[in-house]
Amino acid sequence: MNVILLGPPGAGKGTQAAHICEKFNIPQVSTGDMLRAAVNSGSPVGVEAKKTIDAGNLVPDDLIIALVKDRIQLPDCHNGYLLDGFPRTINQANALKLEGIRIDYCVEVKVPDDDIVVRMSGRRVHLSSGRTYHVKFNPPQESGKDDITGGELIQRVDDKEDIVRGRLKIYHKQTEPLVKYYQNDSEKPETGTKFIAINGVGTLEEVKERISTALVS
């Protein structure tokens, strides 16, 4: 089972990706992790990637594809894999197809923007311990104070409403064409890719169950 997981920031993709990998015994193949490993190893692909990164440029698709092809040949990918962070564009999706890298499922976790804003802008963190709270869903005993130490809780810059809405705007612009690409692919039996839209509103367990049911149906 080869899976791509799409969804806006704050949709819980990280949690759901871990669930899919555990349930179906497949690894999470992260392009970010692969790039770091390649650079650290000094492999030919890593050397080329480092040159690009050091120059302040984006790593070209052909290098990412080369890393993905090498990674999915490893034994732990025998039963499949979940691609993390790739593809992000239609060009990248086409490159996967041209290289014969099969995608069985494209899963989109759908959460309304206003729900995402509530989830993310309500987060509060105690920096020294890393303990996290939410003003609505998991509030501290005393507003603005860590339950254990009484230390101040802060809102990360990335969680401020205007920043969250800006990230969502970028997500919709960049990723919605990719969603439509896989929706169209799903209507072509010869591609072998099934597109699944999952309602991401509800508890983590409810969303997990929806994804699990969809992937085994």
Does the residue 166 lie in any domain? Answer: yes
Active-site residue 71, yes or no? Answer: no
Catalytic residue among 71, 119, 123, 210: 123
pLDDT band at 181 (very low <50, low <70, confident <90, very high): very high
Does the residue 87 lie in any domain? Answer: yes
Does the residue 11 lie in any domain? Answer: yes
Number of domains composing the chain: 1
Catalytic residue among 88, 110, 165, 194: 88
Per-residue pLDDT at 75: 94
Catalytic residue among 51, 156, 160, 180: 156
Q: Which residues constitute the domain of residue 92?
A: 2-26+79-111+162-216
Q: How many other C-beta atoms can be found within 10 angstroms of the C-beta atom of residue 162?
A: 9
pLDDT band at 208 (very low <50, low <70, confident <90, very high): very high
Report the C-alpha gap between 77 and 74 in whole angstroms. 6
Active-site residue 13, yes or no? Answer: yes
Q: Tell me the average pLDDT across 142-149.
A: 96
Does the residue 60 lie in any domain? Answer: no
Catalytic residue among 50, 131, 167, 194: 167
Does the residue 67 lie in any domain? Answer: no
Task: Answer whether residue 190 shows pLDDT above 80.
Answer: no
Per-residue pLDDT at 130: 94
Which range, of 29-38, 95-104, 133-142, 164-173, averages the lowest pLDDT? 29-38
Active-site residue 69, yes or no? Answer: no
Does the residue 52 lie in any domain? Answer: no
Give SS3 for 45. helix
Give SS3 for 85. coil
**Hunting for tokens 């997500």 — which residue is that?**
171
Residue-wise pLDDT tens digits, 86-125? 898 898 999 999 988 989 999 999 999 999 999 999 999 9
* Beta carbons of 152 and 143 less than 8 angstroms apart: no
Q: Tell me the average pLDDT across 136-160.
A: 95
Does the residue 65 lie in any domain? Answer: no
CA distances from 56 to 104, 143, 170, 204 (A): 34, 42, 21, 38
Does the residue 149 lie in any domain? Answer: no
Task: Answer whether residue 34 shows pLDDT above 80.
Answer: yes
User: Which CATH number belongs to the domain containing residue 177 in this structure?
Assistant: 3.40.50.300
